[in-house]
Structure 1
């Protein structure tokens, strides 16, 4: 016995009304692609400078980080990398939550928790980068190289 239900033509126009306003899913999709490309450049630049230039991994210590954070270029490089990576990761996790969590209230709670955590980490990381002071708390017992750096 044949069923009378028919499958709609896949090329037929979709008849559901389109929602008004911004298409956040489309902009999230575009952000993931653009931030992914930028992150590849930022991360490989970060790794190259930290691991290949100078003494390589053996040269990374407090003085190396203090020297990098003394430069506005590297401050902005690291902050851009931090912001893009955290928003990229939170958006990816949001997509996973939307795909696998079926209960609307739980999904909404998890997505809010993701964005709050990402926002907190962005705020904290940005404050660390821009307020980093290697000279804070220097005393006579401090190392000579650190005193010279702060002179």
Structure 2
């Protein structure tokens, strides 16, 4: 089977549509750089800047961090970027290795749905997390919660 590549200035290549592959490629590079900063900032703040290091991380530590809007947005940015970055990488793998169009479409739909569900659930958890739920058994809640 002979394969031809159109000349760059041919009418087919000159149409005015968005090049999603190019933007996906750019997103992977930009999100990768931002993710490195977010992940190493997360690790530094949790393991090095925290007195006690990894041994100090418990439910109370996480509850305290998620009570701070700065860390909420930090974690949500990390969540969104990592999930979209990973889903886009998997989409690229599907494009490269799956030749049956129906299967490729189904896998890409599954990737999109799983990433969207995880983003929604993760965002809800970060912004609605309450380490001291009202009406909970006092023996089950964290020690820093006020006793009713």
Quickly name the TM-score band, shorter chain normalised. Answer: 0.7 to 0.9
> Which deviates more, 128-137 or 83-92?
128-137
Moved over 6 A (4+): none
Q: How many residues align?
A: 141
Offset at 1:144?
Answer: 6.9
| Corresponding residue of 1:109 | 106
Counterpart residue number, 2:34:
38
Contact 1:97–1:110 (8 Å) recurs in 2: yes
- The answer (yes or no) to whether the contact 1:50–1:57 under 8 Å persists in 2 is yes
How far the C-alpha of 1:13 sits from its partner, in A, is 4.3
TM-score by length of 2: 0.86
Gap regions ≥5 residues in structure 1: 1-7
Max radius of gyration: which structure? 1
The answer as to 2:110 corresponding to 1:125 is no
Cα distance in 2, alignment partners of residues 20 and 143 from structure 1 = 58
RMSD (Å), alpha carbons: 2.2
What secondary structure, in the 3-state scheme, does the structure 1 residue paired with 2:70 have? helix
What's the CA shift string for 1:93-150, capped at 9, x where partnerless?
A: 00000000000110011011101100000000000000000011533334672324x8
Q: 1:141 aligns to what? A: 139
Task: Tell me the TM-score normalised to structure 1 length.
Answer: 0.85
Change (3 A) 1:74 1:144: closer
Contact 1:138 1:147 in 2 (8 A): no
- Is residue 17 from structure 1 mapped to residue 15 from structure 2 by the alignment? no
Where does 1:88-103 land on structure 2 (aligned, <5 Å)? 88-103=85-100
Q: Return 5+ residue gaps in structure 2 as ranges.
A: none
Shift in Å at residue 21 of structure 1?
1.8
